[in-house]
Structure 1
């Protein structure tokens, strides 16, 4: 096992480790000492959110295991480095710091990730450059941003470390505000320092503005206790920014929380359009049109799959590494369809997009959406989009099947039962229907799915 420190730690974090699995994938492991763990509820909430998290700009969670001394969280390895490293590099090596175009391209990714968290009632509360990691890649000459694995556009920027996140309940007014003073000085909103309850979502927005300020001038804002306010060093650099950029920063860094925009509103600021940030991640209009047409064709084929096939394919995407050219393209397509709302793609949005970029009728598109939306939430999630639109050749890669099969086979029996598969989305996948399909596949009718049959479910449209 190779050890690699990925960033600063808190809450008894021993290390962040990278471990190479038998299939060759490298993952990150966050290990927490049981003896020194002070807040079990916070850890449980972090794990629960990571389990549900399904967005290109939040870190992917795989599983949790424990031994006598530690609890271990297994997540994707973000090998592209932290935003903190690239800010330092941009200011030390390239002199003028991060360009305004780079600032816009990074800011929109942060806002997308936070908009997703807020849409799911979670305030991060510790947004800072050290908690923003690029998933892969290395920067091109003279740039502060790594290039995506596809070779086009920027590498995905992932929000990590939800250890002090707070739940914001819109359905329960008494739970809408937070009280704990949490975060990192320099990025914490002014109201967090006080004794009064505060809205964690508005506090996150201030933190994003503080990160942007750090990117611009090379230093975070400086908290002055005597004044109970921040000083913002390097203001002269602001004069070089466009009026649109300064306008957005003024909104994000406003002293009054209620005057700040939501993350979803900030994404729609004119600055992003004026800087050419169209959520296409390096794809031109013609390339995006072609990509979306392919996605709809594959989704149509996916809609004709059986329940068992869909379940197996979903599991492969849920546990497979996504740092490759094909998945990078599908990520760009999803973000284009999602339009930065972070709530997922609705049936209305899906149908209207399909009418423009495919030859399917509205009725056909509604049926495709219904089968792709395996969670039955009415919103197509990131994982659901990838599952339904991935190319057949991607599912033929043996390592993807091995990773999913081994993860689901917790008893190491060499076979899976319907109940093992249904755990992916409890109460969503029809247990009886899956069980009947497995029994129908097995010559002896024993209801155990072996690895070769698991693979056949994903690669063949007719495996009986």
Structure 2
């Protein structure tokens, strides 16, 4: 199978080792079971972080292996708080094992069915997260093509205001070029847009599907049942569930469930007045004073160390990343999954509690944070979601020897206890990540053995970043 690196972790996540050496898999009741495999709960042995492991039979999937490979490649490219994360891939003679985020709250469809339908405020909370994920996917030139409430997972069983929603199931997703038309009729009929039925569409088909999801959240039903109804495009609001609906949400649905030429983009949808009026007030997390120093120090590290820290972040449990995740979500005001200079500067200017921080960091100092020190002449680089987590997690608590050894194993693709020069340049990370490494930390040796690597992380990274 393909060995392209994960965009989030900046390493190849295909692990040649044995799944049970890294994860303790719960062999009791599975979380789910489908035609091609089983999903089980697992824990990272070094950190206790809970994950979902999807085992897929190679024999059963042999006729559709190319579809699975496309799905995996798209999951590798996704890095957003509201999209499911693929952490690692294992393989043996019989199965592929995909290690992913565990969403213990079930799916959005189940949540709606159990409550009858949602209040508008709760629907706004859910749809804002879904649109943020779709905005990110479209900015990354990915069209999901099967958005529906069943494919929106909840991180926990807490209320919608207190849990993260995650877009999942990229089995029908594809990449696209600007102005390209997609020609395959794929997806779930009740969520297909008219142009999908006509086999000439673009990424705006996802926006139509978001409209169907919103309609479902508020009524526990879908507006269209068959092709004729979809092509006719008449949305009914006559059921009892719509008696108390606001004019704003009906108007919003009218901007989503409309011909593609007049349909809103995800970015436009996020700016709709319905969200402004319906979203409940939230308290923005306070930025700790050391946050900007953490971001600046992270960007000053070479790519090898940054990739190692990103791998560490992928192994941490919810308790160690929740604060950083919430801060990132509050700073990423447009929801595109990237933290920009303008967004950070605006936050510092806006919040009175951060006046001291704003005085310490003017425009020039903020721009330095976004400078890639491995490529000084390049344009300023936004922080991705995983980069932000990697830059801001608590080093003193999380960088244990056990974690460092697991990071080493993730980079040691031959599993011989040594990372040699051939492995450094073999594609385990995107080129030319290893060039600055050869000029710094490992220039003194042809190989990096496990003890040296552990010391490298614990001393050179922990001491510089704590």
TM class, shorter-chain normalised?
A: 0.7 to 0.9
Q: Which residue of 1 aligns with 2:208?
A: 206
- Report whether the alignment pairs 1:342 with 2:336: yes
CA gap 1:169/1:72 in 2 versus in 1, 3 angstroms: same
- Report whether the alignment pairs 1:177 with 2:181: yes
1:418 and 1:434 in contact (8 A); partners too = no
CA gap 1:269/1:340 in 2 versus in 1, 3 angstroms: same
The residue matched to 1:412 in structure 2 has which SS?
Answer: coil
- Report whether the alignment pairs 1:19 with 2:20: no
The residue matched to 1:461 in structure 2 has which SS?
Answer: helix
1:332 corresponds, among 316, 326, 329, to 326
- Report whether the alignment pairs 1:251 with 2:255: yes
Q: Which residue of 1 aligns with 2:272?
A: 269
- Report whether the alignment pairs 1:33 with 2:57: yes
The residue matched to 1:240 in structure 2 has which SS?
Answer: coil
Q: TM-score, normalised by structure 2?
A: 0.81
Greater shift, 64-73 or 302-311, is seen at 302-311
Q: CA deviation at 1:310?
A: 3.2
Q: Separation in 2 of the partners of 1:409 and 1:204? A: 40
Q: Which residue of 1 aligns with 2:242?
A: 238
Deviation track 1:403-460 (CA, whole Å, cap 9, x = no partner) reads 433322333333445775775641252x1332343337x8x87543433433334321
Q: Which residue of 1 aligns with 2:114?
A: 89
- Measured on the aligned residues, the alpha-carbon RMSD in Å equals 3.1
Q: Separation in 2 of the partners of 1:222 and 1:420? A: 54
2:312 corresponds, among 313, 316, 323, to 316
What are the ranges of 5 or more consecutive residues in structure 2 without an aligned counterpart?
1-24
- Report whether the alignment pairs 1:461 with 2:461: no
Greater shift, 57-66 or 102-111, is seen at 57-66
Q: Which residue of 2 aligns with 1:66?
A: 91
Q: Where in structure 2 are the equivalents of 1:105-116 lying within 5 Å?
A: 105-116=125-136
The residue matched to 2:416 in structure 1 has which SS?
Answer: coil
Q: Separation in 1 of the partners of 2:154 and 2:59? A: 32
1:373 and 1:384 in contact (8 A); partners too = no
CA gap 1:424/1:183 in 2 versus in 1, 3 angstroms: same
1:219 and 1:233 in contact (8 A); partners too = no
2:151 and 2:167 in contact (8 A); partners too = yes
Q: CA deviation at 1:315?
A: 2.5
What are the ranges of 5 or more consecutive residues in structure 1 without an aligned counterpart?
92-96, 146-152
Q: Separation in 2 of the partners of 1:415 and 1:457? A: 19
- Report whether the alignment pairs 1:51 with 2:51: no
1:296 and 1:389 in contact (8 A); partners too = no
Q: Which residue of 1 aligns with 2:298?
A: 302
Deviation track 1:340-365 (CA, whole Å, cap 9, x = no partner) reads 34152233444454566422122221
CA gap 1:376/1:81 in 2 versus in 1, 3 angstroms: farther
CA gap 1:30/1:20 in 2 versus in 1, 3 angstroms: same
Q: Separation in 1 of the partners of 2:218 and 2:424? A: 48
Q: CA deviation at 1:128?
A: 1.2
Q: Where in structure 2 are the equivalents of 1:110-149 lying within 5 Å?
A: 110-135=130-155, 137-139=156-158, 143=159, 145=160
Q: Which residue of 2 aligns with 1:94?
A: none
1:396 and 1:458 in contact (8 A); partners too = no
Q: Tell me the matched-pair count.
A: 425
Q: Separation in 2 of the partners of 1:380 and 1:428? A: 19
Deviation track 1:85-104 (CA, whole Å, cap 9, x = no partner) reads 2111111xxxxx31111111
Q: CA deviation at 1:309?
A: 3.8
2:430 corresponds, among 412, 417, 426, to 426
Q: CA deviation at 1:180?
A: 1.3
- Report whether the alignment pairs 1:382 with 2:382: no
The residue matched to 1:404 in structure 2 has which SS?
Answer: helix
1:438 and 1:447 in contact (8 A); partners too = no
Deviation track 1:51-97 (CA, whole Å, cap 9, x = no partner) reads 12111011111222333333332212222211122111111xxxxx3
